[in-house]
Structure 1
């Protein structure tokens, strides 16, 4: 039986869960920014509205 008992949740198990969560969140953010960049290329913004991506890049 190699499952983590509840007491060891503060150790390696929690760390692995946290890393998985951070990894999936970064993937979501990356795809969101990619879609935002694609939208930015497809829909040219007018002169009076600043480019959203240029503020962050």
Structure 2
């Protein structure tokens, strides 16, 4: 996994956490769902990159 991929995935995860927190603070369920979706996407990308790294060695 390249450093830039890690940074992008971490940024997406943090953005998702922020959106979820904003949604909870403003009682906006769609913002909470959007944040959780972004976090799930980042986690899936991290998992995919980790699998690629295992087979690369």
TM-score where L is the length of structure 2: 0.53
Gaps (5+ residues) in structure 1? 40-57
Greater helix fraction, Structure 1 or Structure 2: 2
Q: How many residues of Structure 1 are paired with residues of Structure 2 in the alignment?
A: 36
Q: Give RMSD over aligned pairs.
A: 2.2
TM-score where L is the length of structure 1: 0.53
Q: Runs of 4 or more off by more than 4 Å in structure 1?
A: none
- Larger Rg, first or second structure (1 or 2): 1
Gaps (5+ residues) in structure 2? 1-21
